[in-house]
């Protein structure tokens, strides 16, 4: 079943998280990679700036 196996990437150290890669294969993997790329791009362009603006506004008030 695609997406059910993963491997750890890197060695965990203090202050650095442990990443993993999940394997998606075939046409379903292609579609999933495009979907995840869009979600990540939307989160970085829309989500994070609004969260940071709200945080800064709360720190000033």
Confidence of residue 43 (pLDDT cuts 50, 70, 90): confident
User: What tokens does 15 get?
Assistant: 């202050």
22-to-19, 29, 32, 36 alpha-carbon distances in Å: 10, 10, 11, 12
Mean pLDDT of 10-35: 72
Mean pLDDT of 33-61: 86
Cβ–Cβ under 8 Å, residues 23 and 1: no
pLDDT of 58 over the 80 cut: yes
> What pLDDT is stored for residue 6 in this prediction?
58
- Compute φ and ψ for 24, nearest 5 degrees: -115, 130
């Amino acid at each position: 079943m695609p997406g059910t196996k993963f491997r750890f990437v890197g060695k965990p150290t203090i202050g650095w998280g442990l990443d993993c890669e999940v394997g998606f294969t075939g046409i379903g993997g292609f579609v999933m990679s495009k979907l995840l790329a869009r979600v990540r791009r939307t989160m970085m362009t829309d989500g994070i700036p609004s969260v940071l603006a709200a945080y800064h506004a709360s720190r000033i008030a």
